[in-house]
């Protein structure tokens, strides 16, 4: 699948990023093309750009590195602890024009303030926010929030910050964040579905809307082809293991080849992948070939397992799939050439497949599916969770629910509501 051409509003935001040094937050409802714009920026900008994201999965998705590994920051609250920086890191941070952060809704205020301090320190510009670097943030605060820390960390945030959200970081007392909200949804095309999703996003679902969603979702789910989006890993593993066990035959396993420092949590695929003929699988990355036979998120069925190859049927076509190599990057500055390099520090080789009868809603973030079974289990427990799940699906006819939605499944964070209400006004002035 080719990268789509930018729409007019995406192009206008791109121009704003390219021609100014404003700090910019690009937001918008699910499917408005934020990540598409980020990819365009990464490949077309003439600025020295570094890309990072709060989690390993999100960083791999956009070919960047995690914020923690880029800045060599310790995990947990950083507060005003001294930040240690070696010479190579200082040089690297001095070479950046623009720092791009994806999935910024999951970055907490303490981490953003630490990034600010690290940049001021490295660039020896103690009085300039982010040491003079332009920040470009992408994300939707109505989707996933920062992961709440342990009780001590939560107490720290309660004490020192208005909220844990990135937009409540102290650095914004000293500088402006220009907000651009993309308006056009590209993932869904039905007006009715877009209206329902927008209501879920804002916690404004009426009884009439709930009835449409629940009546649509109550149809019996298809036995193949649809993925289950569930709230917990335990549910996902149970659904996948049960489904694999039900298939006849013996499971064959493929063990990943791992080189370099790939911390266990950041593995982009299973270390030991168990497959059987008939297994429902999801591709974990885009086809590297020119034909683009599949994309990250495509669902298929295992047809044959051979030596170093797996045949997967996708919508009537059979594809030979070979192991793929994921590269983990680290940015490095070369003083000799005064340029920024992206070094490969680790490689992980595995079939780009995972069992896909179910995935967590967390891991479905950023993805697009034609149909899905949404399993909220006993309850949806995080702000934005139900919205992320429902908004992955391209059309209403692809929605299946394991149980009806309840009002308590739709959780909207009050501070997000307040900030975003004010943000629209800021956008109108700055646009």
Report residue 125 as tokens: 């510009």
Q: Which of 35, 69, 98, 360 binds ligand ATP (CB under 6 A)?
A: 35
The contact mask relative to ligand ATP for 173-192 (x = CB under 6 A, - = no) is: -------------xx-----
Strand partners, 99: 50, 135
Q: How far is the CB of 391 from ligand ATP (least distance, A)?
A: 6
Q: Which does 98 bind (CB under 5 to 8 A by kind): ligand ATP, Mg ion, none?
A: none
Q: Which of 368, 371, 380, 385 binds ligand ATP (CB under 6 A)?
A: 368
With CB under 6 A as the contact rule, the residue among 17, 24, 30, 312 that binds ligand ATP is 30
Q: How far is the CB of 387 from ligand ATP (least distance, A)?
A: 10
34 lies in the site for ligand ATP, by CB under 6 A: yes
Q: In 96-230, which residue ranges form alpha helices assigned H by DSSP?
A: 109-122, 151-160, 191-202, 207-217
Instruction: Assess 4 for contact with ligand ATP (CB under 6 A).
Output: yes
Contact status, residue 427 vs residue 180, Cβ threshold 8 Å: yes
Instruction: Identify the burial level of 420 via C-beta atoms within 10 angstroms of its C-beta, where 0-12 means exposed, 13-18 middle and 19 or more buried.
Output: buried
- Is residue 95 near Mg ion by the rule CB under 5 A? no
Q: CA-CA distance, 104 to 138, in Å (whole number)? A: 6
Residue 366 engages Mg ion in binding (rule: CB under 5 A) = yes
Cα distance between residue 187 and residue 362, in whole Å: 18
Q: Does 108 bind Mg ion (CB under 5 A)?
A: no
Q: Which of residues 113-152 bind ligand ATP (CB under 6 A)?
A: 140
Whichever of 34 and 68 has its CB closer to Mg ion, that residue is 34
303: Cβ contacts below 8 Å, ≥ 6 apart: 277, 311, 312, 313, 318
| Residue 64 makes contact with Mg ion by CB under 5 A | no
**Interface with ligand ATP, residue 366, by CB under 6 A:** yes
Contact (CB, 8 A) for 114 and 69: no
Structural contact between residues 56 and 89, judged by C-beta atoms closer than 8 angstroms = no
Count residues contacting ligand ATP (CB under 6 A)?
17
Does residue 32 belong to the site contacting Mg ion (CB under 5 A)? no
CB 119 within 8 A of CB 363: no
Nearer to ligand ATP, 51 or 92 (CB): 51
Provide the β-strand partners of residue 321: 310
31 binds Mg ion (CB under 5 A): no
383 binds ligand ATP (CB under 6 A): no
Which residues, in sequence order, are CB contacts of 338 under 8 Å at separation 6+?
95
Q: Which stretch binds Mg ion (CB under 5 A): 11-19, 26-34, 57-65, 396-404?
A: 26-34
Q: Which two tokens stand for residue 418?
A: 């307040």
Burial of 46 (0-12, 13-18, 19+ CB in 10 A): exposed
**Cβ closest to ligand ATP, residue 268 vs residue 297:** 297
CA 95 to CA 198: how far, in whole Å?
40
Q: Which is nearer to ligand ATP, 8 or 159 (CB)?
A: 8
Residue 27 lies near ligand ATP (rule: CB under 6 A): no
Scanning the structure block, which residue is given the tokens 């699910």?
A: 30
Give me the count of residues in the chain: 431
Query: Which residues bind to ligand ATP, rule: CB under 6 A?
Result: 4, 6-7, 10, 28, 30-36, 140, 186-187, 366, 368
């Amino acid at each position: 699948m080719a990268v789509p051409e930018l729409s007019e509003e995406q192009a206008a935001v791109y121009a704003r990023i390219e021609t100014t040094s404003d700090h910019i937050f690009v937001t918008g409802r699910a499917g408005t093309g934020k990540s598409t714009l980020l990819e365009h920026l990464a490949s077309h900008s003439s600025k020295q750009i570094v890309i990072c994201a709060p989690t390993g999965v999100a960083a791999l998705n956009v070919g960047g590195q995690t914020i923690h590994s880029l800045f060599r920051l310790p995990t947990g609250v950083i507060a005003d602890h001294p930040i240690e920086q070696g010479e190579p890191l200082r040089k690297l941070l001095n070479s950046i024009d623009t720092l791009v952060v994806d999935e910024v809704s999951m970055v907490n205020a303490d981490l953003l303030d630490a990034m600010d301090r690290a940049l001021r320190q490295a660039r020896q510009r103690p009085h300039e926010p982010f040491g003079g670097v332009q920040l470009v943030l992408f994300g939707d605060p109505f989707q996933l929030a920062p992961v709440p820390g342990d009780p001590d960390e939560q107490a720290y945030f309660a004490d020192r910050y208005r909220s844990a959200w990135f937009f409540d970081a102290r650095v914004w007392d000293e500088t402006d964040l220009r907000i651009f909200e993309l308006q056009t949804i590209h993932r869904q095309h039905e007006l009715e579905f877009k209206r329902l999703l927008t209501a879920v996003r804002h916690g404004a679902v009426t009884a009439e809307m709930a009835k449409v969603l629940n009546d649509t979702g109550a149809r019996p789910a298809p036995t193949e082809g649809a993925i289950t989006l569930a709230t917990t890993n335990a549910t996902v593993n149970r659904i996948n293991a049960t489904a694999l066990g039900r298939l006849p035959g013996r499971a064959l396993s493929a063990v990943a080849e791992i080189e370099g420092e790939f911390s266990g949590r950041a593995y982009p695929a299973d270390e030991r992948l168990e497959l059987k003929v008939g297994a429902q699988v999801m591709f974990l990355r885009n086809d590297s070939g020119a034909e683009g036979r599949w994309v990250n998120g495509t669902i298929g069925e295992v047809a044959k397992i051979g030596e170093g190859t797996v045949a997967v049927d996708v919508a009537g076509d059979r594809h030979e799939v070979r192991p793929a190599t994921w590269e983990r990057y680290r940015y490095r500055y070369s003083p000799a050439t005064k340029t920024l390099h992206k070094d490969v520090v680790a490689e992980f080789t595995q079939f780009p497949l995972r069992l896909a009868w179910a995935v967590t809603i967390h891991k479905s973030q950023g993805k697009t599916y034609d149909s899905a079974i949404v399993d909220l289990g006993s309850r949806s427990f995080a702000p934005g969770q139900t919205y992320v799940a429902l908004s992955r699906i391209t059309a209403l006819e692809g929605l299946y629910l394991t149980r009806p939605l309840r009002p308590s499944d739709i959780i909207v964070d009050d501070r997000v509501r307040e900030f975003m209400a004010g943000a629209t006004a800021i956008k109108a002035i700055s646009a």
